[in-house]
Amino acid sequence: MLGSKSKHASNTASTPSGLSIIGADVTIIGNVSATGDLHLDGAVEGDLACASLTLGAQGRVKGHIAADKAQLAGHVEGTIAVRDLAIEATARISGDMSYDNVSIATGAHVDGRVSHRAPGDEANPLKLVAHTTE
């Protein structure tokens, strides 16, 4: 629907190079999976998996991020498992991160555990554990 704030992943722009772009006016509720690169200026409420993620300063993710490379400048609320992770000064991260290589710019806000992955670790080493009361 035109003018709607919630759109499906099929409403993203794709270029021949394998780059998908989710614009600032798009909110996706549900998981997003891409085999190529993803540039996100909008919002995703769900898990996100791709080869390379660029999260713009206005971009938001509420869920788990799994990628080979990620450059984060926006807001993330959830776990991050990325081989090469770059966190920009405008980034606001709330959640645990695992990485092989990381750079964090001065001014970035990171609230959560930060752990280095050993070579050969799975791409998604963080596990969610449900707490139950008996």
pLDDT tens digits, 81-110: 999 999 999 999 999 999 999 999 999 999
Taking a C-beta distance cutoff of 8 angstroms, is the pair 61, 47 a contact?
no
Asked whether 113 and 96 are in contact (CB, 8 A), the reply is yes
What is the reported pLDDT for 125? 47
Q: How many domains in the chain?
A: 1
Residue 62 lies in a domain: yes
What's this model's pTM, rounded to 2 decimal places? Answer: 0.76
19 within domain boundaries:
yes
For residue 28, what are the domain limits? 9-116
Spatial separation of the C-alpha atoms in residues 89 and 106, rounded to whole Å = 6
Q: For residue 26, what pLDDT is reported?
A: 96
Tell me what the mean pLDDT of segment 106-130 comes to: 72
Q: Is residue 128 part of a domain?
A: no
Q: Percentage of residues in the chain with pLDDT exceeding 90?
A: 72
Domain-located, residue 125: no
pLDDT score at 15: 46
